[in-house]
Amino acid sequence: MGVLPSEVKRQTFFKFQDVSDPKYGCRPDRRPISELIRLGIINLDKPRGPTSHEVSAWVKEILNVKKTGHGGTLDPGVSGVLPIAIEDATKVIMALQPAGKEYVCLMVLHKDVPEDRLLEVLKEFTGEIFQRPPVRAAVKRRIRKRQIYYIEPIEIEGKNVLMKVGCEAGTYMRKLCHDIGEALGCGAHMQELRRTKTGPFKEENSVKLQDLADAYAFWKENGDEEELRKVILPVETAVEHLPKIVVRDGAVDALCHGASLAAPGVVAVDSDIAIGSLVAIMTLKGELVELARAVMNTEQILEAEYGIVAKPERVVMQPGTYPREWKK
């Protein structure tokens, strides 16, 4: 069975041992509820019917917040996993782009095809493919490369093919079904579609809009946070799939003010970091400080005693959360 980029396992290597001062910062699972909302993300199960933008707007209205953003548009007729970021957590939506997505798709063939031939063609569509967006797409109709990580048939019944597809963000499933039909010489179309994964967000852990509305109302009326903490996840959930660099307390505030990360601030680093890759910079308490671009690979970061190892892309943590040691 194939895996998405978000499911690749990494090792963590420590440059030295350090401890974090309990007076500053806070473990993500212990944030006050107001902070959880400001830095929260919801693994929402979008229903069929509304647009992704409408669903995002409903979440904003339910929570009475100024800003929400969603992680990957789903067409109105498609249901499934739609991460919704709240307030400052919207800064990390870009981190879901390289994570990969999974769909369960019902494809209907226009003629009967031998099963062995169908399976052979499905294998041919695994790997790098070329797609031209459909006429109704909201992007330019130029040919683009997309990665198909796996296509796994779940059930084949006559002309109906139920399959699980893991693919790169921006892959058009309707076009994929059409192209498979062309390769088979019989024609095909997408009948139904549901998204089951967006990076670290999975269908089995998703919640419905009503769950969110009920949990928020219960907190407002009774002060009980338990249900709301189940439906609003810490922003760190959205970067679980990214390689991480852990920094000491003294480096955090400089990063919050937009500084690049220098080698002396690094405590630990994950494997498989390449130059130019998107990384999550974390505190020793597991808080997300920022998204950054690596300018050294894992081996170089481990060996470096000085020099810049990563440059900021999106700062998430507010300045002043940790003490300002960088001006001393």
Cα(287)–Cα(25) distance, integer angstroms? 8
Cα(323)–Cα(48) distance, integer angstroms? 47
Asked if the model's pLDDT at residue 27 lies above 90, the reply is yes
Of 276, 275, 279, residue with least CA distance to 292: 279
Q: What confidence score (pLDDT) does residue 136 get?
A: 59
Per cent of the chain over pLDDT 90 is: 93
Q: What confidence score (pLDDT) does residue 328 get?
A: 47
Tens of pLDDT along 280-319? Answer: 999 999 999 999 999 999 999 999 999 999 999 999 999 9
Q: Phi and psi (nearest 5°) for 231?
A: -100, -25
Q: What confidence score (pLDDT) does residue 144 get?
A: 85
Beta bridge partners of residue 269, listed in sequence order:
13, 245
Tens of pLDDT along 223-244? Answer: 999 999 999 999 999 999 999 9
Under a CB-based contact definition with an 8 Å cutoff, are residues 106 and 190 in contact? yes
* Mean per-residue pLDDT of the chain: 95
Asked if the model's pLDDT at residue 70 lies above 60, the reply is yes
Tens of pLDDT along 33-58? Answer: 999 999 999 999 999 999 999 999 99
The Cα-based distances of 270 to 49, 274, 279 in angstroms read 41, 11, 9
Asked if the model's pLDDT at residue 271 lies above 80, the reply is yes
Return the structure tokens found at 30: 């212990």
Which residues are the active-site residues? Answer: 75
**Rounded mean pLDDT of 46-73?**
96
Q: What confidence score (pLDDT) does residue 325 get?
A: 79
Q: What confidence score (pLDDT) does residue 138 get?
A: 53
**Rounded mean pLDDT of 132-146?**
70
Asked if the model's pLDDT at residue 9 lies above 90, the reply is yes
So where are the chain's domains? 10-26+238-315, 101-198
Helix (H, G, I), strand (E, B) or coil at 59: helix
Asked if the model's pLDDT at residue 254 lies above 90, the reply is yes
Residues 6+ apart with CB under 8 A from 71: 82, 83, 84, 85, 93, 96, 198, 199, 201, 238
Q: What confidence score (pLDDT) does residue 129 get?
A: 95
Asked if the model's pLDDT at residue 211 lies above 90, the reply is yes
CATH number assigned to the domain with residue range 10-26+238-315, chosen from the 4 options 3.90.1170.50, 3.40.309.10, 3.40.640.10, 2.30.130.10? 2.30.130.10
The Cα-based distances of 243 to 99, 148, 165, 292 in angstroms read 11, 22, 24, 11
The structure's pTM equals 0.92
Cα(34)–Cα(37) distance, integer angstroms? 5
CATH class of 101-198: alpha beta
Cα(190)–Cα(170) distance, integer angstroms? 16
**Rounded mean pLDDT of 100-129?**
97
- The CB density around residue 65, as the number of other CB atoms within 10 Å, is 14
Under a CB-based contact definition with an 8 Å cutoff, are residues 83 and 73 in contact? no
Under a CB-based contact definition with an 8 Å cutoff, are residues 156 and 118 in contact? yes
Cα(261)–Cα(271) distance, integer angstroms? 18
